[in-house]
Amino acid sequence: MKMNLFDRILLTLSALVWLAASVALIGVGIGYFSFDVLARWFAENASLTFSAAVVVVGLVGVFVSLKLLFSHPTADRTQEITEVLVKDTANGAIRISASALTALARRGAAKVEGIREMRCMITPEHGSVAIMFLVTLMPEVVVPELTEKLQAEVKQYVQEHAGISVQSVRVRVEETLPALR
């Protein structure tokens, strides 16, 4: 899970507030100062500006707490995997590494002419794999024909050489190069 910068800042602020509150509670618990001292300090500083600042800090604290409480990290389905189970035999499990699957998929894709650059991601899918290609195409290619051929070649090549079922081969064309004049 990757946290964005805003969530990191909120988490840091929340941790600092909880640290200060914990130190204050420890101080009260060991008798270093009493609740009366805190109440008297707040009463002495009770101006309109101070009260507004306390309300703002309290609202920010509520916002930060609710944000962190209800922000559920989502699993990245394209996260890097290390291996995929091909099959389980009487002699043990047969697994293939993600890098080997990626190499096989790229080899299958290399049979298709018209691809300038490609990136490949492998995702396990209930006993099979899903393959995603991000491609840059050469000029003057017919995109639907090329992508269908890419899907068929990669699926056939990986299933034949890895012995694992390929659920899908998705292709996203990132760019097509301009024609040379």
Model pLDDT for residues 3-35, shown as the tens digit of each residue: 677 777 777 877 787 778 777 777 777 777 777
Instruction: Please give the Cα distance from 133 to 122 (Å, whole number).
Output: 9
Mean pLDDT of 159-168: 92
User: Residue 14: which domain range?
Assistant: 5-70
Is 100 contained in some domain? yes
| Domain-located, residue 166 | yes
Does 42 share its domain with 101?
Answer: no
In a domain, 16, yes or no: yes
Question: Which of 70, 99, 117 is the last residue in one of the domains?
Answer: 70
Query: pLDDT per residue over 72-123, tens digit each?
Result: 555 444 445 677 777 778 998 888 888 899 999 999 999 999 999 999 999 8
Both 168 and 108 in a single domain?
yes
Q: Is 40 a domain residue?
A: yes
Shared-domain flag, residues 114 and 172: yes
Give the H/E segment covering residue 36.
helix 35-44
In a domain, 181, yes or no: no
Could you tell me which of 109, 128, 131 has the C-alpha nearest to residue 118?
109
- Structural domain contains residue 31: yes
Give the pTM.
Answer: 0.55
| Range in 8-12, 66-70, 112-116, 131-135 the model is least confident about | 66-70
49 and 131 in a single domain? The answer is: no
Residues 117 and 63 in one domain: no
Q: Same domain, yes or no, for 95 and 145? A: yes
Co-location of 99 and 156 in the same domain: yes
Q: Note whether residue 66 is domain-resident.
A: yes
Q: What residues pair up with 124 in beta bridges, in sequence order?
A: 129
In a domain, 137, yes or no: yes
Tokens of residue 151, six digits: 């899907």
* Whether 122 and 150 share a structural domain: yes
Using the 3D structure, point to which of 29, 46, 70 is the last residue of a domain.
70
Report the pLDDT averaged over residues 23-48.
Answer: 74
Residue 95 sits in the same domain as residue 65: no
Backbone phi and psi for residue 84, each to the nearest 5 degrees, phi listed first: -130, 140
List Cα–Cα distances, 122 to 1, 2, 81, 86, 97, in angstroms.
18, 19, 8, 14, 10
pLDDT at 13: 78
Do 41 and 19 have their domain in common?
yes
Q: What is the mean pLDDT of residues 45-49?
A: 72
State the pLDDT at residue 167: 93
CATH number at residue 93: 3.30.70.1350
Of 37, 70, 103, the one marking the end of a domain is: 70
What DSSP element (H or E) covers 120?
strand 115-125
Domain total of the chain: 2
